[in-house]
Amino acid sequence: MSDLTYVSSVILGVVEGLTEFLPVSSTGHLTITEKLLGLRVDAPEVTAYTAIIQLGAIAATLLYFFKDIVRLLVAWFRGLTNAEARQDHDYALAWAVIVGSIPVGVVGFALKNVIEGALRSLWVVAIALILWSAVMWVAETRHAKLLAESGERGEGTVTVRDGLVIGLVQCFALIPGVSRSGATISAGLFRGLDRVTATRLSFFMAIPALTAAGLYEAGKTDLSGLGKGEMGVGIVVAFIVAYASIAWLLKFVASNSLKAFVYYRVALGLVLIAVLATNVLSAT
């Protein structure tokens, strides 16, 4: 990572902030960008940097949803000791987020060597971008059918079972190119949740998942070669851009489907396959 300059840090921070919460795969975009910047995408320090700058995006989430997070935590702690407080739906919503965050942690830890090794390939990114786009398309199509038949479910209807299902689907996001938000929002739509609720739930589940990943990488990796200043710049830039992205996405999904992102994902996947097949870029 000695080749990482402040300019590169800014670029990676912008890419992280823009793509972390959009259903286009931040890991996939960061991998592509790192390759274009001449970095070894399968090097441990590059993998660590990719995870660590996510902390900027998580900080943006914590700030944007601070009141919601406090509300859910208060409801959860009250419900642990008070039977009447367990009737508050925020108690169930908090449990949905907690339960939904466990699977990706377990699977991520169990398969960490595969995720940080074999899956850090642009071929994986290209194929995953295209294949998961089909899942997103089906989710949107089914969501439209559910809306016509029985209406949508709002945040007040989210159950622990919803959280578990969405959490299990979130495990697919460990594959670069799938997209954590693309996986969780799609799962929410399959469960009949409205887009805003599915997106907010996706944000809530991002907090424990990405925080754990960032802190784990920071703790196990020798950060002396990462460049503290460059890393700090990447985190700050990711925070600023991610905050704006969160606000934009919530406004967008209120009246638009995810199919616009599907078109982009498929186009990017096809372009990536073309440049890999012609050896314009190497896969790792």
Q: How does DSSP assign 244-268, residue by residue?
A: HHHHHHHHHHTT--THHHHHHHHHH
Q: What is the domain partition of the chain in residue ranges?
A: 6-277
Could you tell me the two tokens for 172?
Answer: 């697919």
Which tokens belong to 33? Answer: 């960008």
Give the number of other CB atoms < 10 A from CB of residue 147.
13
3 Cα distance to chain centroid: 27
3-state SS, residue 61: helix
The mean pLDDT values, 10 residues at a time, for the chain of 284 residues are 76 93 89 85 74 87 94 95 91 95 89 78 92 96 82 88 96 92 94 93 87 72 69 93 96 91 96 92 78
The residues near 133 (Cβ < 8 Å, ≥ 6 apart) are 262, 265, 266, 269
Please state the separation of Cα 247 from the chain's center in Å: 15
pLDDT in tens, 130-185: 999 999 999 999 988 887 777 778 899 999 999 999 999 999 999 989 999 999 99
* DSSP, res 93: H
Q: What whole-number distance in Å separates Cα of residue 135 and Cα of residue 127?
A: 13
Query: What is the per-residue pLDDT for 91?
Result: 95
Burial 228-248 (b: 16+ CB within 10 A, else e): eebbebbbbbbbebbbebbee
User: Tell me, what's the pLDDT at 218?
Assistant: 65
pLDDT, position 144: 84
Structure pTM?
0.88
Task: Identify the pLDDT of residue 141.
Answer: 92
